[in-house]
Amino acid sequence: MTDRHSKNYLSLLDEKTVSLKRQFSGIQIPVISVFTSPESHFRMRAEFRIWHSGDKINYVMFKKGENNTPIIIQNLPNASRTISALMTPLLKAIESQGILSKKLFQIDFLSTTTHQLLVTLLYHKKLDESWEAAASELQSQFDFSLIGRARKQKIALNKDYVIEEMTVNNHLYQYQQVENSFTQPNACICEKMLNWAVDNTKNSQGDLLELYCGNGNFTLPLSKNFKKVLATEVSKTSVKSAHYNIELNKTDNVNIVRLSSEELTQALNKTREFRRLADINLDDYAFSAVFVDPPRAGLDDETLKFVSQFDTIIYISCNPGTLTDNIKNLPNHTVEKLALFDQFPFTDHIECGAILRSALKAQQRE
């Protein structure tokens, strides 16, 4: 990156910081910790539509609402170096085999910081044995795992996941990341988020409850700071990956249960029993903190009421607007720490983290 480009990046990041402060108008906040991203090659995953012009195919993207006007993508500086290096040779290899290019409408890439790569080809046709033979030949040309998808079809020629690595508090964690499941797109920022969450929960007392844990991304490093962790998730695929990652990282104080926040509330209030909790005694937990990473809509009213019972709320947000709305409805909590994570450089998107403490807990820490 040129110095000029870097200055532009830092200027845009300053604008985000000012915007975040503005969002928190009327709420007492500490100095915001700002975490920068690499300015290029930061995206570990990418999705491209495919545009056909005779026998030639191109990666394309579309402006919002303009699906008939493709923008041809020759390269994507934001994509990881692993993805960037493969884009052109892969397209040429697919183009050379008509059976692979015919009715291909999208290519998805999922990469890691350790240069593992998973490629998914999506089709408007049924995939047969001849496609599988050609796809196997394609996979053998490159160092990646290949998946073919069509309506009601998924063919994984090797495996349907990659293993990512993150270093948190000088400890190496490994994560299975499954194709077509949510993962943090910016690995550098993800690692900084994990370290921030761990640094700001050191010396915690009691147990941690995590709502919607995904594949255990935050769960595993946070487990070092708590006696026990109970994590919930509704996606069967994510629950399976979370269990895989617990074993992979030899973690022994985490339980994963497939429940929604509403179901968990019912279970904790003993208003309903769940077979999925048959091997877990909720009375064994003394929760002192809750971790939440909700969608853009933020926490719904019932979940907000539920988390208000906790002394400490660790809140990761992809929408400062709904975060501030939620905080205003937590009158007994104050913002002890606030961070801006530049997940998507050169965009208006703001990812942030907040540590909220109950008034009583904050007084005890003083």
- Which residues have a catalytic role annotated? 318, 351
Pairing of strands 161-168, 171-178: antiparallel
What are 2's two structure tokens?
Answer: 């040129």
Number of H helices, E strands in the chain: 11, 17
Q: State whether the Cα torsion 188-193-196-201 is positive or negative.
A: negative
Reference 43, options 353, 354, 347; nearest CA is 347
CA atoms within 13 A on the CB side of 169: 16
CA atoms within 13 A on the CB side of 348: 4
304-312 contacts at long range (C-beta below 8 A, 24 or more positions apart): 304/329, 304/330, 306/261, 306/265, 307/211, 308/332, 308/333, 310/209, 310/358, 311/357, 311/358, 311/360, 311/361, 312/201, 312/204, 312/288, 312/355, 312/356, 312/357, 312/358, 312/361
Q: Residue 182: what are its φ and ψ, rounded to 5°?
A: -70, 135
Q: Are the CB atoms for 190 and 271 separated by under 8 Å?
A: no
